């Protein structure tokens, strides 16, 4: 465990700080990056340096007609990129005998994927390129649902 984090937890356990203060201190140790990831500096030769995205953010705004709940509903999910990387490693645990069944199921849904051809390095590449993805979906014909997916 990080030494600073341990100290904060010890102070919280010892009653020296409140839970709110501990949360603020822990958040300060791991500051959330700004909403738009992009370029944050330049190299000595003036070339932009790209920061590595830490989180995948999914924002959903739905109105009453979609949810059946009065007023607007907002869902905001932040997933660490590290969790996505760890998640794709699970794909390598799928037993070989299950590959054919999964491939058939994908094909029936019109997704031509052969799982056995996907290697861990492909999945890593996929996650890396996810950092460049921004998805914006706006509802039409009176449907006010909005979905936004981006990395930050």
Partner 1 sequence: MTPNFAVVQIEMPHWRTFRLWLPLFLLWIPLILLSPIILIVVVAVCLVGRVSPLRALGAFWAITCSLPGTEVTVHTDGNHVRVKIL
Distance CA 138, CA 144 (A): 7
The one-character DSSP state at 65 is: H
Per CB under 8 A, contacts with partner 1 among 18-47 are 19, 23, 26, 30
Nearer to partner 1, 48 or 89 (CB): 89
Q: Give the one residue of 35, 49, 96, 111 binding partner 1; rule: CB under 8 A.
A: 96
Distance CA 51, CA 2 (A): 23
The CB-side HSE value for 82 (13 A sphere, CA atoms) comes to 1
Distance CA 131, CA 60 (A): 19
Q: Does 146 bind partner 1 (CB under 8 A)?
A: no
Distance CA 128, CA 88 (A): 12
Q: Give the one residue of 4, 92, 101, 116 binding partner 1; rule: CB under 8 A.
A: 92
Among the listed ranges 34-42, 95-103, 109-117, 137-145, the one in contact with partner 1 (CB under 8 A) is 95-103
Query: Using CB under 8 A as the criterion, which residues of the chain lie in contact with partner 1 when the complex forms?
Result: 1-2, 5, 9, 19, 23, 26, 30, 54-55, 67, 69-80, 82-83, 85-87, 89-90, 92-93, 95-97
């Amino acid at each position: 465990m990080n030494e600073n984090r341990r100290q904060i937890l010890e102070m919280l356990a010892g009653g020296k700080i409140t839970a709110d203060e501990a949360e603020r201190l822990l958040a300060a140790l791991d500051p959330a990056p700004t909403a738009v990831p992009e370029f944050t500096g330049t190299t000595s030769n003036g070339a932009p340096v790209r920061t590595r995205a830490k989180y995948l953010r999914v924002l959903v705004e739905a109105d009453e007609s979609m949810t059946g709940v009065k007023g607007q509903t907002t869902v905001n999910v932040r997933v660490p990129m590290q969790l996505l990387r760890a998640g794709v490693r699970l794909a390598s645990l799928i037993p070989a005998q299950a590959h054919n069944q999964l491939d058939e199921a994908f094909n029936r849904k019109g997704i031509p994927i052969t799982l056995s051809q996907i290697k861990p390095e492909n999945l890593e590449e996929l996650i890396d390129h996810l950092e460049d993805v921004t998805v914006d979906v706006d509802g039409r014909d009176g449907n006010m649902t909005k979905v936004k997916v981006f990395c930050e």
